Amino acid sequence: MVFFEKLIRSRAWMTMALFAALTGLSGCSLFVDKHVEWETVEPDSYPVLSAVGYAPIMSQRGESETVKTLMAIKASKLEAYRELAEQVYGQRIEGNQSLSSLVVDNETLRASVEGVIRGARVIKSYPVGEDTYATELELDMHHVYDIYLTTAKPQRIKDIKYY
């Protein structure tokens, strides 16, 4: 009798009992297998984003008016891409203000945008008045989604079967 009391109080007995209990509980799941069926997730609707970029012609660097016009075309296209990036990713705003003797001493505000735009197409590039060039871009999100599917392949669980 003393032997069994010592055995029950011993740490080895507790460890063996805990191990046996855990093995018994987890033993059931060793015989169950499952098959998970996945399906691709697709949004309900796809918006079409548009943006217009403007650039002054005479402010561009170049030796002739033709070179300045070409540079304005490029600048207006980049400006339109920046506007699309703002629509897709948002704009980061940073502000700073300092006071001296309870009077505003210095105040700064910075805005920036960063992102990758794929699949945009130029709708139209044209002069506006005599000194400005404009470029219109369009970004069909269905086309962007197709590009995304080629790399990411988002999925969700369609069905699970347990055996």
Residues 113-132 have pLDDT tens digits of 999 999 999 999 999 999 99
- The model scores a pTM over 0.75: no
Residue predicted with more confidence, 39 or 91: 91
Find where tokens 């599917």 sit.
149
Q: How confident is the model at residue 4, as a pLDDT?
A: 56
pLDDT average, residue stretch 50-59: 96
Domain 48-89+116-159 fold is Dodecin subunit-like (3.30.1660)
Closest CA to 159 of 32, 1, 36: 36
3 contacts: CB under 8 Å, gap ≥ 6 = none
Name the token pair of 162.
Answer: 């347990």
Q: Identify whether the C-beta of residue 31 lies closer than 8 Å to the C-beta of residue 163.
A: no
Q: Identify whether the C-beta of residue 100 lies closer than 8 Å to the C-beta of residue 81.
A: no
Question: Where residue 7 falls among pLDDT bands split at 50, 70, 90?
Answer: low
Q: Where are the domains positioned within the chain?
A: 2-32, 48-89+116-159
